[in-house]
């Protein structure tokens, strides 16, 4: 039997990178899917990759808005009746700015997506899971949510928020049958950091394995945490960083 047979999964940030890899992996493993992203064209590409593998629905949404963050939750409940797995992957990234050169607009963008968006989507998903007394939440944060990193201070701060959120809600909802874990990748070969990878030597920036992770390598760990194989794993903060910072 496939690991997610008969389960409903929701994936944010599914328009590319780790989100797309997670959606395809879950579809291949038997999950019914609702995928969401703010970029309609990118999301439609992902939908085309999964629509023949499983029952699936795509919802274009801005997770930083109350209405947007509720829209795909409602779609999952309306079509499938429940949410068993919630993977929060949507994020924005700013690189290369000295702290004093950041603008308030950039701060707002990072906080709106990475913090406010995480809060709204997780809150709305848990409002469905808690009455059912079951469910798994897996957040894709970052190694930068555990350590300080120069020139990405806003991103790093926002990922610290996500890690703290995961730890807190893991304790709060465990007694209600809900598990919450978080993966903290380092360098991933995705469009979000393609500029960085094109201008710097991966052997220098990607740690001892000297290469970026593939999106599938991160999605695979997230799928394990969401599966019944990890049934006693709650509040885990998992470094998926190729041995960097150990």
CA distance 170 to 50: 30
Question: How many C-beta atoms surround the C-beta of residue 159 within 10 A?
Answer: 29
Distances (CA, A) of 163 to 171, 172, 192: 13, 14, 20
38, 47, 93, 155: the catalytic one is: 155
Distances (CA, A) of 19 to 94, 199, 200, 243: 19, 24, 24, 23
173 is catalytic: no
CA distance 69 to 19: 16
Contacts of residue 188, defined as CB under 8 A and 6 or more positions apart, other chains included, come to 17, 18, 212, 213, 214, 215, 218
CA distance 34 to 214: 23
The set of long-range contacts for 123-126, using a CB threshold of 8 Å and a minimum separation of 24, is 124/69, 124/70, 124/73, 125/10, 125/73, 125/83, 125/86, 126/169, 126/173, 126/178
Q: Which residues are known to be catalytic?
A: 155
């Amino acid at each position: 039997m496939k690991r997610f047979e008969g389960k409903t999964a929701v994936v944010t940030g599914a328009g590319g990178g780790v989100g797309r890899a997670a959606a395809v992996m879950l579809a291949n493993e038997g999950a019914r899917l609702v995928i969401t992203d703010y970029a309609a064209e990118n999301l439609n590409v992902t939908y085309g990759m999964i629509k023949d593998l499983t029952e699936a629905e795509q919802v274009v949404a801005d997770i930083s808005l109350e209405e947007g963050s509720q829209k795909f939750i409602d779609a999952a409940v309306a079509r499938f009746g429940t949410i068993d797995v919630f993977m929060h992957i949507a994020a924005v990234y700013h690189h290369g700015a000295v702290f004093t050169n950041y603008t308030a607009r950039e701060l707002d963008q990072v906080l709106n997506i990475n913090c406010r968006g995480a809060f709204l989507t997780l809150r709305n998903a848990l409002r469905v899971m808690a009455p059912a007394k079951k469910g798994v939440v897996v957040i894709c944060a970052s190694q930068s949510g555990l350590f300080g990193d120069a020139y990405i201070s806003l991103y790093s701060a926002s990922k610290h928020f996500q890690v703290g959120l995961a730890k807190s809600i893991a304790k709060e909802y465990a007694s209600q049958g809900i598990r919450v874990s978080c993966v903290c990748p380092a360098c991933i070969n995705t469009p979000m950091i393609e500029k960085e990878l094109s201008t710097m030597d991966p052997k220098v920036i990607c740690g001892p394995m000297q290469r970026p992770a593939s999106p599938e390598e991160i999605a695979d760990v997230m799928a394990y945490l969401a599966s019944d194989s990890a049934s006693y794993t709650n509040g885990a903060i998992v470094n998926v960083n190729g041995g960097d910072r150990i």
